[in-house]
Amino acid sequence: MDLDKENIEKNSFEKEFEFQTENKISVKSFNIDRDFSYLNLKLKSDYDKNPVVYIMLIDSNNKLRIQYRSIYSKNNIIVGQDSNKCSIGTYPGPINNGEWKLIIISLEKNKEYDEYSVVIECTNNKIENQDFDKLSEDVWVDYNNEDNNLLKLTNYDWDKNFNSEKRWYKGDFHTHSIISDGKMDNKLYMKVAKEMNLDFAVPTEHNIIPTACEKDNDVLIIPGTEITMIDGHFNILGIRKFPLNLDTETLLEDYHKKDFHDLQESIVKKIIYDEHDNRAIYSINHMVLEFWKWKFLNVELEQFDTIEICNDPTYYLGAESNDKVLKMLDILWNDGHKIYGIGGSDAHILPTETYDNSSERSIMGDPGTFVYCDKLTANNVIESIQQGHVYVSRGILLYIDIKVKGRDFAYLPGDEIEINDQVEINYSINIKLENLVNEYGEINKTEMPLKVYFIENGIKTQKIISKEGPINFNSNWSKDDFKYLSVEIRDMQDNFKAYINPIYHGSKKHEIITFEDLFTKYTFE
């Protein structure tokens, strides 16, 4: 039932919609008959806590004005022309008259919370004494841009220079805040990033595109999102617009006609095939982690640039699943795929907290993903990932020197080695302990000795390094062979410490095409 309480006075409008959580997808249309200054959306229920839902509000100009997920953020969402009076996850701009659409996706698994309502209020009065999570100051959207996108980050500066040094930069490609289901607000997010010595971070909220960030010249924030389905998650890193042409009528029709897995897969395929943006990075998350495994088996691997090989290692199931993914990445390289490994903390809790069954804090920046750039800009970070100039680490710093005997320049991880006849590869790594201590304690304490595995076409050569300093590996490559060489570092208890992406030569015809092929190959090896 929809309860319409439209006020006859010209300074207000109110409409209430009632929902049930058993309806996984609901769409409601309503008309606003005149322009207003502000719109306030409130989620209401008769229970101690609100049901878990994802809300989108689309205005009469087909702009996505509100993105909201009801976990830790306040259930009072405000949007209007003045960005200083807008909530996180909103798109500032006018509240225009015409038809608006409210889309609700129920994520609630507890059947106890079966009924709730959404109230839409519009007003021309000043927003005062309202309790809401405020949008950050550096706003990336501009309502006056002339295009047909639901949401586009037209004000984001992809070439803003945060550092002019040519070096390795530390970042985190999988982070969460109260905008979706994390516990950190925007200010704490930036504080923790600095405490963890991050040069950059990517907010990857569940199905939400960030529209702003804190004004800060120390940490580069790169827009991202985690496309989140029940049957699998993946990140789009460096996202520039809403990744789907959202047709609500088709969405509802498919919801009623299709099996729910098939509906999810059709949405995933539209995003990665039809709407693919080559300027962004598409990355599979926690691919075999229990409860969040990737189940879209018919999707082709070539649609993805990277795989998350270290996802929140403090989670009690994390280490085992991460090790499986590392083996799968090696299988892919042996099959000639050029897909690179990155890391993501996927931290949802506060930096002072730990998960059950864990003695380590789950914190942004653990693991760190290091990207080599000429200078620190968003475009440079994305381009360097696409080229594989990346290593992932927990508690150690690596200074990598890869050379070919007789050549006077160095290569980076991800580079192809050109060979006319035969070459000698001289691979050197200088290993330093990070020894990061901050107000949250000692992070990733690492002790020598360490085991260093040089992995050449799937064959591991183990070396032991007993103290900080260099370790070397040499190999001869011929022009007619497909070759790759990656590096994995572990402590003496076999805990993951680092992964360096491969250098390679040549190409190879793929036998593994889909995720189903990969999982089958892994099962039989």
Label residue 111 by pLDDT band (50, 70, 90).
Answer: low
Label residue 10 by pLDDT band (50, 70, 90).
Answer: low
Read off φ and ψ for residue 254, nearest 5 degrees.
-65, -40
* pLDDT of amino acid 8: 42
Domain residues for the domain of 54 are 2-134
Whether 116 and 187 share a structural domain:
no
Whether 90 and 235 share a structural domain:
no
Whether 363 and 425 share a structural domain:
yes
Whether 489 and 406 share a structural domain:
yes
74: tokens are 């306040």
57: tokens are 């509000």
DSSP state, residue 49: S
Residue 235: name the closest of 260, 186, 201, 261 by CA: 201
Average pLDDT over residues 369-383: 99
Q: Please, is 176 exposed, middle or buried when counting C-beta atoms within 10 Å of its C-beta (0-12, 13-18, 19+)?
A: buried
Average per-residue pLDDT for the chain? 94
Residue 32: give its domain's CATH number: 2.60.120.380
* pLDDT of amino acid 382: 99
Range name among 172-186, 282-296, 352-366 with the lowest pLDDT average = 352-366
Q: Give me the percent of the chain exceeding a pLDDT of 90.
A: 81
Average pLDDT over residues 84-112: 90
Residue 145 lies inside a defined structural domain of this protein: no
* pLDDT of amino acid 323: 98
Label residue 126 by pLDDT band (50, 70, 90).
Answer: confident
Whether residue 9 has pLDDT greater than 60:
no
Whether 21 and 83 share a structural domain:
yes
Could you identify the residue written with the tokens 């608006």? 100
Residue 255 lies inside a defined structural domain of this protein: no
Whether 300 and 218 share a structural domain:
yes
* pLDDT of amino acid 409: 96
Q: Please, is 8 exposed, middle or buried when counting C-beta atoms within 10 Å of its C-beta (0-12, 13-18, 19+)?
A: exposed
Q: Give me the percent of the chain exceeding a pLDDT of 70.
A: 97
For 344, the enclosing helix (H) or strand (E) is strand 340-344
Whether 46 and 171 share a structural domain:
no
Residue 259 lies inside a defined structural domain of this protein: no
- For the segment 430-457, what is each residue's pLDDT rounded down to a tens digit? 999 999 999 998 998 899 999 999 999 9
Whether 128 and 191 share a structural domain:
no
* pLDDT of amino acid 3: 47
Q: What does each C-alpha distance from 196 to 90, 286, 438 come to in angstroms?
A: 28, 22, 8
Residue 246 lies inside a defined structural domain of this protein: no
Whether 98 and 29 share a structural domain:
yes
Label residue 21 by pLDDT band (50, 70, 90).
Answer: confident
**Model pTM score:** 0.95
Residue 175: give its domain's CATH number: 3.20.20.140
* pLDDT of amino acid 129: 73
Whether residue 484 has pLDDT greater than 90:
yes
Average pLDDT over residues 123-134: 86
Q: Are 396 and 367 in contact (CB under 8 A)?
A: no
Label residue 86 by pLDDT band (50, 70, 90).
Answer: very high
More confident: 356 or 321: 321
Residue 254 lies inside a defined structural domain of this protein: no
More confident: 127 or 191: 191
Angle between helices 318-334 and 515-523 (to 10 degrees): 100
More confident: 11 or 74: 74
Residue 147 lies inside a defined structural domain of this protein: no
Whether 304 and 393 share a structural domain:
yes
Residue 23 lies inside a defined structural domain of this protein: yes
Whether 107 and 28 share a structural domain:
yes
Label residue 22 by pLDDT band (50, 70, 90).
Answer: confident
Residue 155 lies inside a defined structural domain of this protein: no
Domain end marker among 84, 112, 134: 134
What is the number of domains present in the chain?
A: 2
Label residue 112 by pLDDT band (50, 70, 90).
Answer: low
Whether residue 360 has pLDDT greater than 80:
yes
Whether 65 and 203 share a structural domain:
no
* pLDDT of amino acid 113: 62
